[in-house]
Amino acid sequence: MSKYGVIAKFDNPQSLVHAAEKVRDEGFTKFDCHSPFPIHGMDDAMGLKRSKLGYVIGAMGLTGALFGFGLQTWIHSIEYPMNISGKPYFAYPAYAIITFELMVLFSAFGAVFGMMFFNRIPRFHHPVFYSEKFSDVSSDAFYVSIEIDDPKYDESGVIDFLKNIGGTEIEVLTDEN
């Protein structure tokens, strides 16, 4: 059984946002906030950067469009040219539908697999789930967790810090694997 970190409960969404700002300002980098619903402004409060997922989706969409257009061009102009009603071999207006569909398909794959990569999933079980108190987060609880991997982590110091910023029901988490 190894230690994972410390969690602390906060009363409402506003106090969770303020706690996240204080944790960020204190210099912690490996922490997370847990809430039953998204909270506006939480990304800024935690100091999170803008997601790179949009760039992945854009690149995958462009790749899909180029692949679709290139494949059709190669098939119709080089590999299997057919003279149909006197149309040219490179009849690019007809390529628009398949090009668009492959752009959407590749973008969807980029979104799903990019999200999985950036969110580090699948992780089938997280150490916060070993806490009995944490089960309330799905309905009406707000928690901050600070991981043991954080460079500023000192268990007694973290516990005192979380108490000072208004945290209650503070618990040291263990990873039971």
Distance CA 113, CA 159 (A): 37
User: 75: pLDDT confidence band, cut at 50, 70 and 90?
Assistant: very high
pTM of the entire predicted model: 0.70
Distance CA 59, CA 96 (A): 19
Question: What are the domain boundaries of the chain?
Answer: 2-50+127-175, 53-118
Taking Cα atoms as reference points, which of 53, 37, 41 lies closest to residue 138? 37
DSSP annotation of 84 reads -
The chain-wide mean pLDDT, for the chain, equals: 88
Share of the chain above pLDDT 90, in %: 32
> Which numeric CATH code is attached to 2-50+127-175?
3.30.70
